[in-house]
Amino acid sequence: MAAAGRVAAGRVAAAAALREAGALRFGDFVLKSGRASPVYIDLRGLISHPLLLRQVAALLFQTAKDAGLEYDCVCGVPYTALPLATIICSENQIPMLIRRKEAKDYGTKRLVEGTINPGETCLIIEDVVTSGSSVLETAEVLQKEGLKVTDAIVLLDREQGGKARLEERGIRLHSVCTLSGVLEILQQQGEVAVEMVEKVKKFIQGNVFEPVAQNGPAAVKRLCKELSFSARAELPGVHPIAARLLVLMEKKQTNLCLSADVTSSKELLQLAAILGPSICILKTHIDILNDFTQEVVKELRTLADQHEFLIFEDRKFADIGNTVKHQYEGGVFRIASWSDIVNAHVVPGSGVVKGLKEVGLPLQRGCLLIAEMSSQGSLATGEYTKAAVQMADDNSDFVFGFISGSRVSNKPEFLHLTPGVQLQTGGDNLGQKYLSPKEVISEKGSDIIIVGRGILSASDRLQEAEKYRKAAWESYISRLGIRAED
């Protein structure tokens, strides 16, 4: 069969496979971003249809063959593309690599499993491409291992800007089919009404991720309207920790961080167990625990996984690179082994970030820089804040946001967390100034409120936490659609 005929047959086969597996559904759906969508695509169910799975794998392999691609190994984007890559490699005797989403905190701590030969070319396999962010994340991990990534094969291109974004980064995207192509086939077969096809096409055109220049001031001002948390999670430059956090925030409808400043391990674990469902982050000061053991952080880690929140050790590193490296990795607390997020002052210069990065980057941890503080008379203002933003830009592979009183960067890839929040504004006699959730989220443009005493001092902590969660989330919802200032 000629290449053109194979391509056409492949598209028809792909459309049938998607429909049969229930991977492509039409109607009225609410996406994670909160947007209403007339189409819903989910290929995870393919693993329960072994014949369809093999058929899709064969289509992907044939697409690479027809494109004349030359490559030494294959890597599937985790997780849906992993079984597809496995079938391709096992049936065609091609070496396979597996990219971990998170490095193990023991053993080799590798992010890529398999035999890596620097200089070889790795072909990426993906199921669906929207913005291209998942392919880019995988490519970056592989490239850091010394591998070349020039091409990616995808079953379905949603035509929402992913192809252009990947080409901008030097990666050619080859798709078995496009969403509009599948729609046309299903329409011809009488599976989808003409009205629905037009509705979906209109949705695609109105939800395109535009390519972004990599350099220059335009990168800061490209946000023409407020993006939802889940839309920001799909941006190609977003840090893996930020992406995880943004997705779980949208899923749980919470942008509340609990500042668990308690001195008892029992109380800390009780807070995590009871308030875990209401929060996106639990912030610790682990060195104030009177009875710290490694078992405590193991239990805390289990609760974090169970209730889907991240752990943030508020260590405020502020020393030379070599010292903070040891403070982060070793000592009594071994912070890097259990805390998703840490923070640092920028006073010591870029060395503090470089030292932390040496430990945290292989573990896929993330760092926040302290750009502003909520205490009265703080010196973290003006040029200091600008320096923090610049340092974050220079280290965006590890730094994903700021501790600040307001939005200090217009880049949607960066998150802003604001402490000193209470439902009733005011202050204390030690110089702490308090703002309301509405002021912080709606007016100052921050993303996450950090609340401690406002919840911990309440007789019913869960009830109080829910008040803060609802206030912060409603402020975020009201902010969506409001044009951001350049």
Strand pairing category for 448-451 and 256-259 = parallel
Question: What stretches of 7-119 adopt beta strand conformation (E)?
Answer: 24-30, 36-41, 73-76, 96-99, 112-113
Q: Which residues contact 318 (CB under 8 A, 6 or more apart)?
A: 324, 344, 345, 347, 348, 352
32 noted as active-site residue: no
Confidence (pLDDT) at 485 = 36
Per the structure block, which two tokens stand in for 327? 């403070």
Per-residue model confidence as pLDDT tens for the chain (486 residues): 555 566 677 778 888 878 888 888 888 876 544 456 788 888 888 999 999 999 999 999 999 999 999 999 999 999 899 999 999 999 999 999 999 876 555 556 688 999 999 999 999 999 999 888 889 989 989 998 999 999 999 999 999 888 998 998 899 999 999 998 899 999 998 888 999 999 888 888 877 776 644 433 332 333 335 788 988 988 878 899 999 999 999 999 999 999 999 999 999 999 999 999 999 999 999 999 999 999 999 999 999 999 999 999 999 999 999 999 999 999 999 999 999 999 999 999 999 999 999 999 999 999 999 998 655 555 555 688 888 999 999 999 999 999 999 999 988 999 999 998 998 765 554 455 678 999 999 999 999 999 999 999 999 999 999 999 999 999 999 888 543 333
- The pTM of this model reads 0.57
State the DSSP code for 210.
Answer: -
Radius of gyration of the chain (CA): 24
Q: Which residues contact 359 (CB under 8 A, 6 or more apart)?
A: 325, 328, 329, 336, 365
Query: At residue 474, what is the residue type?
Result: E
Distances from the Cα of 266 to the Cα of 292, 293, 310, 317, angstroms = 10, 12, 19, 26
Residue of 72, 105, 319, 393 marked catalytic? 319
Q: Which residues contact 247 (CB under 8 A, 6 or more apart)?
A: 32, 229, 230, 233
Strand pairing category for 426-427 and 433-434 = antiparallel
Burial of 66 (0-12, 13-18, 19+ CB in 10 A): middle
261 noted as active-site residue: no
- Please identify which residue in the block is written with the tokens 């599948």: 182
Q: Which helix (H) or strand (E) holds 201?
A: helix 194-205
Residue of 316, 433, 444, 470 marked catalytic? 316
